[in-house]
Structure formats: C-alpha cells, structure tokens
Amino acid sequence: MSSFYALGLGVGTQNSDQEWLEVFFPHPLLNPSEQTVACFVRVLGEQNDNCAISMTGEQLASLSQTLEESGETELALIARNLQDSLRPIVAVLLKDNTGPKTVPEGYLKLHLLSHRLAKPHTVTLDGLFGVLPNVAWTNEGAIDLKELPSRQLQARLQGKTLSVNCVDKFPKMTDYVVPKGVRIAHTARVRLGAYIGEGTTIMHEGFVNFNAGTEGKSMIEGRISAGVMIGEGSDLGGGCSTMGTLSGGGNIVISVGRECLLGANAGIGIPLGDRCTVESGLYVTAGTKVSLLDDKNQAVEQVKARELAGKSDLLFRRNSLTGAVECKTNRSAIALNDELHANN
C-alpha cells in the first residue's frame, strides 16, 4: 500500500445545501502509518486521489472496531465518540501534499500547522483562498452568510442575541488548537494555520497569520504576516510589522532570525539573519537605500537593503541629523565588503 501524506477524522459544520463551512480535527496525522491507512481503506475503499468522504454512524462503528483491532486505540476512541455526533463527520485522506480542493482538505492542512506537525512553507496551500468560504463566526458557531439574517431573526424571536464575532475565511486558532506552552492575550488575533512555537508569548496587539509563526520562545507585540517565521528568542515590539507575500512582498520569503529585535512601529520587507535590530519607527523595504557603517562608524558604501537580506549581526537605524537609513555592523570595512559581495 502506498504511503499517505496526511489523514484525519473531523466533525464540522455545513450550510443548508450540505456544503462544508469548517471542520475540526481532534487528532490529525502527518505521515500516518501504513497500518492506520489500511484501516481506513478497509472501511472506505481504496482511494486514488486526495479525498474527503462523509461518514455514516455505521462506517464509524466499523472503523472504530478496525482501528481497535489494529492497536490504534486513540484514533479508535475518536471514531467511537464521533458516532453520536449531531454534526456531519468527514474522513480526509491526503495521498500527496498538493493544494487543497475541498474545505475539509484545507482545514486538515491548517490543523497540521497549528498542531506543530508541519512547519510553514512545508504544507502546500495553493488555491486555499478559493476553496475556503467566507463565514460568519458567531457565538453559535460558523454560519453561512446567506443564512445569517434568518438565524439572527430566529435568535431574536427566542429572546437571544446572535453575536457575530467576525466575518472571515479563517477562524481563530484557539477554537481548534491550543498548543502547549504558549500565552495568547487576544485569541482572535491568531488565525488557524499559525505555527506557535513553545514558549511564545503573544501580547494583545500581536497578530499571527496562517502559514506563519514562531520557532520557540519569543515575545510578539507586532504583526507576523502570512509566510513569515520568527526565530527563537526574537522580540517584535508593539505595532511593528513584517511584510508577507500577501501584502506586497512578492515572492520574497520574509523571515526573522534568532535573537532579533524589531522596535515599536518598525517593519521589514527583507529577511533578517540572527541577532539583528531594527530601531523603532524604521521600515526597511527591499529597495531602501542603506548607508553601511563599519565597526568604527565609518561609511563604507551605499546599497539597497535587499543586498543585506539574511545577513546577521546588523543594526538598522535612521540618522537623526540627515534622515538617512544606516546599517551598523561589528565587522571591519574589509570584512564587511568581503561578506557583502561574496555572493555577487
């Protein structure tokens, strides 16, 4: 039997046309064992492509028994519990890591990221925006926007208020996954599909998009845009931002290395190496003209910031007298020039 990329049993929400709005996967699996895959295939049949299959109570009972007999007790228990669900159940089997074609496939991939089973840029999400519906996220769960007015009226007639928390394609992560060892002050600011490393603190103004996140212990008070990863021990100050591929970064993959500091209201449009600092209020884009200073504060040359992408131990600052953007390093002029032009 061929290997599978990922697999999951989920319970979700459908609209009145039985179209999926969202799916919760309590125990997603990346690279499931052949034994686990065989259990699903025995109940659901051989699959030739990535698929999402709605399951009946009888199928869940059969799957639970098959998994139990194979020693897959945790997944067997989940299948058994899902038999009594009032919501629709779906099994998602991904033979390969290609872009999702259905809502359940997309949600399984987002779960893989937020469960820390896969890191950003390793999960193919091509076409995800076109697959996921725009949904009203309410105190009664996900509601199709076309059905929202009637649901609001029903609630009022019962003396209740239907609270719409947001209207978006992505729900907040913590309604699906709460990773171990994190602090998140404002949960609505972290989307499902974020990868939040253990030890990370996200303060009230911090934001983390899907397919982005932190490697480990970090303090986040700024914005981590889609596709951006923050290295261990880095600090993003209040109001700072990182330019993602969805916000004008093009194909450049923005990242922040280990032990970096982005000051309050700073921003970057280039990847940073380790131990870099961007002073408060300074936004460094790829085309920003930067005057290079060596370890004696002597100007070496002027370059565009893209030429410094990924290099470590840099301090970006604005000259208070001239307004010019400067980059200070702990290297001598000769060493600095050698490193700067090594890859040219």
Nearest to 275 by CA among 318, 231, 306: 231
Q: Give the model's pLDDT for residue 48.
A: 84
d(CA 87, CA 71): 27
| Contact by Cβ (8 Å): 80, 109 | no
Q: Do 154 and 190 reside in the same domain of the chain?
A: no
Do residue 119 and residue 149 come from a single domain? Answer: no
User: How many other β-carbons are positioned within 10 Å of the β-carbon of residue 71?
Assistant: 9
- What gap in Å lies between CA 295 and CA 334, rounded to an integer? 10
What pLDDT is attached to residue 268? 96
83 and 54 together in one domain: yes
Q: Do 4 and 124 contact (CB within 8 A), yes or no?
A: no
Please report the pLDDT score of residue 248 as a whole number.
47
* Same-domain check for residues 183 and 275: yes
What's the pLDDT at 344? 46
Domain count, the chain: 3
**Per-residue pLDDT, 291:** 95
Residues 120, 197 within the same domain: no
In a domain, 161, yes or no: yes
Residue 70 lies in a domain: yes
CATH of the domain at 118: 3.30.70.2010
pLDDT of residue 249: 46
Q: Are residues 261 and 202 in the same domain?
A: yes
Phi then psi for residue 72, to 5 deg, are -90, 70
* Cα–Cα dist 182/179, whole Å: 7
* CATH number of the domain residue 275 falls in: 2.160.10.10
Residue 133, in any domain of the structure = no
Domain limit, last residue, from 75, 104, 128: 128
Q: Which domain holds residue 54?
A: 6-128
Dihedral sign (CA 338, 341, 343, 344): negative
47: which 2 tokens?
Answer: 């699959």
pLDDT at 282: 97
- Is residue 221 part of the annotated active site? The answer reads yes
Do 202 and 250 sit in the same domain of this protein? yes
Contact indicator for 251, 245 with CB cutoff of 8 Å: yes
List 265's β-bridge partners, or say none.
none
Q: Is residue 156 part of a domain?
A: yes
Is 1 domain-assigned?
no
Residue 219 within any structural domain of the chain: yes
Residues 281 and 162 in one domain: no
Q: Is the dihedral of CA 70, 75, 80, 83 positive or negative?
A: negative
DSSP codes of every residue in 10-62: EEEEE-TT--EEEEE-SS-EES--HHHHHHHHHHH---SS-EEEEE-HHHHHH
> d(Cα 51, Cα 96) in Å, to the nearest integer?
11
In the predicted model, residues of the chain with pLDDT beneath 70 are 1-2, 245-251, 330-344
- Does residue 236 lie within any of the structural domains? yes
What CA–CA distance (Å, rounded) separates 278 from 323?
15
Same domain, 183 and 319: yes
Which of the residues 215, 221, 279, 326 is marked catalytic?
221
User: Which domain-ending residue is among 100, 128, 156?
Assistant: 128
Q: Among 9, 25, 11, which residue's Cα sits nearest to residue 176?
A: 25
